[in-house]
Structure 1
Amino acid sequence: MTSCLNSAPRRADRRKGGPIIVPITAETTLMFREASEAGQVARRQRAANAGVLDALGKRLRGDSPRAVVTLARGSSDCAATFARYLIERRAGVLTSSASPSVASVYDSVPDMHGALVIAISQSGRSPDLCTAAARAKRQGATILALVNDAGSPLARDADICLPLHAGPERSVAATKSFIASLTAALDLIAHWTEDVGLSAALDALPDQLDAAWQCDWTPALPLLESVRSLYVAGRGHGFGIAQEAALKFKETCGFHAEAYSAAEIRHGPMAIVGKGFPVLMFGQSDASLESIADLARDFTARGATVLRAGVPGEGGVVLPVITADPLTAPVLAIASFYRMVNALAVRRGLDPDSPPHLRKVTETV
């Protein structure tokens, strides 16, 4: 792999007895292929998990947890942020993120009696997550695992497993499994709260994901081709999407990106936003939208390069999004983002499937 901007990335292809060095294009990456499957994954997951979710929703309504604790790393932790806003807003249950190292490094777990721990993982094999989940279970928690590998240790040891049904994901950059984590969280809330509107939105989501994959975000490419740093902003349950986008910029494109709540940017980080500073902004049509639009106006007034996904206003570059229920809109936006960031990585001379120094299963302890 090379980090030289604009040089064509290449990889060894051994399928014909090689190695044969072949150029990488945006359409030939595993990331492209896997991210494009998001609609299929959502269809498969919703059908396969209906029975488990019916029973789980009834259980949660009958015996509501005193608190919900999320347990995750990396992209899965961004999905946990998304889930936290959903649970607190729709189920009215206090939700917080656990630090796996409290159990795996410091050998200490707080009282978890009556808590629901939602452990989210693509692989279900990271030692610190497995240790933290096991310790929480011994401390009285009920463990719900949202895991792509239903045969993994995390899935096996959980009280309830909600498989993601994303299928094999070979690219180091998680895409379809991240979207599957979001759709599983939405479906959990729909069943828990018996939200007919959200269930209808989830019925429409697979086709909308197919359409979101076709949204043209290529106008962002020349603006981001040579950047060295940027902000990604969102708010509410859209903040988790901003976190994931920032992570993917770092992971696949090799430049610094920070995610902020649209409210938090005003508490200090705003100081470095000036002429030409790039900001990608995500918005959804709910109570948070006005504050995000107001922030976009401030960025534009400062001369920043503003890219808007679902954020109204003038100036900057408008990135097309699918009109949808505010709860599912961020899922669609990240699907469109994945296609763009994959192309950006290749344009910058990088292989998005094989980020340097990273592996598919991160074995933190």
Structure 2
Amino acid sequence: MPVPYIDDILSQAEGLKEALEEFDPQPLETVCRFIEMGKYDRVILTGMGASFYGAYPAWLKLCGLGLPVILWDTAELLHYALPQVGSRTLLWVISQSGESAEIHRLLERLTAPRPGLLLGVTNNPTSTLARAAEVVLPLHAGNEHMVSTRTYINTIAVTLLAAAALSGESVSAWKEILWQGQAGMEAYLNAWPQHLAALREQAGKLNRLFLLGRGPSLASAQEGALVLKEAAKFPAEGMGAAQFRHGPLEIVEPGIAVWLFGGAQATYELNRGLGLEIQGYGGQVTWLSPTSVEGLPWLSLPAVPEAALPLVEILPVQALSVALAEASAREPGQFRYIGKITDQE
């Protein structure tokens, strides 16, 4: 019997293909001009859940813009930091549905002063967010049944392309990087039965799991933990690899599992050292990267450019979520208490 969540996973490469083909930087030309003119004094990106995590690589990209750039959980922005949104703020709101409870409340509160410009990223072109935004970037992810899959991948891609445009970089060059990521995704998903079979063996032994990353791979760690909780009802924690050293390292002992994303070259060696140290304390470390590390069990990822790593890093976590759900006799990705759209704060 078909499982909608697995169908969504297996269609991610095709969904990304549509996003890359359809992305149009033309609506951003005015925004770019206003940035050059100094119209904005800050950029705030905001979202919830997968939309929040999917925007992280774009936030890193925008940090070179020459303006303060802040990535804020929408609920915290709404209730505790709204005075940060002023008439010279470029407010970038990311919401797959465009209808989440916090998005509704935020848009209701944006009265005086209004932000300098409201940029919306959504998969629903008729949503409340799309109607409120001056500039809308569609995700082109199609109809998604369950836990965020295609919409998460396309959020990474669309926000990265938009960040490149706002930074004055070649959108075509960035598309080529993401096309290589798309090819890597396709290769991984074409071998889905083999990947799933390998992870079924590991799933039966997992009790406590941390996912760790740095840089763009931090998005994979945080979204990965969310996916495992939502799709498999498995308690996992995603955090920065450096943060793990500041206290959580003390929890390591036999029975503690860590999935560590090798990530970008800037911090690759730091991550390698942490992985070997955790293993030395008795932790069960799995290294996720296109390249292996001597002494650490390795889950091989497709070889893609650094900037495209988050597109392929999430795939083995999704496979693990299916394996864990099956091990506990659950249907993978089936919601129990919430729905596709979170309509309550």
Q: Does the alignment reach a TM-score above 0.5?
A: yes
Q: Name which structure has the greater RCO, CA cutoff 8 Å, separation 6+.
A: 1
Structure 1 position 139, deviation (Å): 2.7
Within a 5 Å distance, the mapping from 1:1-365 to structure 2 comes to 28-52=2-26, 55=29, 58-59=32-33, 61-63=35-37, 65-88=40-63, 90-101=64-75, 109-136=83-110, 138-141=112-115, 142-171=117-146, 173-196=147-170, 197-214=173-190, 216-218=194-196, 219-310=198-289, 312-365=292-345
Looking at structure 2, the residues matched to 100 and 62 of structure 1 have their Cα atoms a distance apart, in angstroms, of 27
Structure 1 position 176, deviation (Å): 0.7
Local SS of the residue matching 1:263: helix
Change (3 A) 1:103 1:50: closer
Local SS of the residue matching 1:274: coil
Local SS of the residue matching 1:303: coil
Range moving further from structure 2, 30-39 or 49-58: 49-58
Instruction: State the one-letter code of the partner of 2:317.
Output: F
Looking at structure 2, the residues matched to 66 and 107 of structure 1 have their Cα atoms a distance apart, in angstroms, of 16
Local SS of the residue matching 1:47: helix
Q: What is the aligned-residue RMSD (CA, Å)?
A: 2.4
Looking at structure 2, the residues matched to 106 and 145 of structure 1 have their Cα atoms a distance apart, in angstroms, of 21
Looking at structure 1, the residues matched to 4 and 215 of structure 2 have their Cα atoms a distance apart, in angstroms, of 31
Range moving further from structure 2, 90-99 or 101-110: 101-110
The size of the alignment, in residue pairs, is 337
Looking at structure 1, the residues matched to 229 and 54 of structure 2 have their Cα atoms a distance apart, in angstroms, of 17
Q: Give the fraction of aligned pairs with identical amino acids, expressed as a percent.
A: 23
Looking at structure 2, the residues matched to 136 and 207 of structure 1 have their Cα atoms a distance apart, in angstroms, of 41
Looking at structure 1, the residues matched to 215 and 69 of structure 2 have their Cα atoms a distance apart, in angstroms, of 14
Q: Which runs of 5+ in 1 are unaligned?
A: 1-23
Say if 1:164 and 1:180, in contact at 8 Å, map to a contact too: yes
Change (3 A) 1:344 1:129: same
Say if 2:322 and 2:332, in contact at 8 Å, map to a contact too: yes
Looking at structure 2, the residues matched to 358 and 290 of structure 1 have their Cα atoms a distance apart, in angstroms, of 40
- In terms of fraction of residues, the more helix-rich structure is 2
Structure 1 position 212, deviation (Å): 2.9
Change (3 A) 1:107 1:57: closer
Structure 1 position 66, deviation (Å): 2.4
Say if 1:79 and 1:178, in contact at 8 Å, map to a contact too: yes
Change (3 A) 1:99 1:189: closer
State the 4+ residue runs in structure 1 displaced beyond 4 angstroms: 102-108
Change (3 A) 1:207 1:94: same
Change (3 A) 1:315 1:257: same
Normalised by the length of structure 2, the TM-score is: 0.88
Say if 2:232 and 2:321, in contact at 8 Å, map to a contact too: yes
Looking at structure 2, the residues matched to 199 and 99 of structure 1 have their Cα atoms a distance apart, in angstroms, of 27
Instruction: State the one-letter code of the partner of 1:191.
Output: A
Say if 1:52 and 1:162, in contact at 8 Å, map to a contact too: no
Structure 1 position 145, deviation (Å): 1.1
Say if 1:91 and 1:189, in contact at 8 Å, map to a contact too: no
Say if 2:118 and 2:134, in contact at 8 Å, map to a contact too: yes
Say if 2:5 and 2:333, in contact at 8 Å, map to a contact too: yes
Looking at structure 2, the residues matched to 104 and 329 of structure 1 have their Cα atoms a distance apart, in angstroms, of 31
Change (3 A) 1:120 1:54: closer
Instruction: State the one-letter code of the partner of 1:187.
Output: L
Looking at structure 2, the residues matched to 43 and 60 of structure 1 have their Cα atoms a distance apart, in angstroms, of 30
Structure 1 position 254, deviation (Å): 1.7
Change (3 A) 1:191 1:137: farther
Normalised by the length of structure 1, the TM-score is: 0.84
Looking at structure 1, the residues matched to 233 and 339 of structure 2 have their Cα atoms a distance apart, in angstroms, of 15
Change (3 A) 1:179 1:306: same
Say if 1:109 and 1:135, in contact at 8 Å, map to a contact too: no
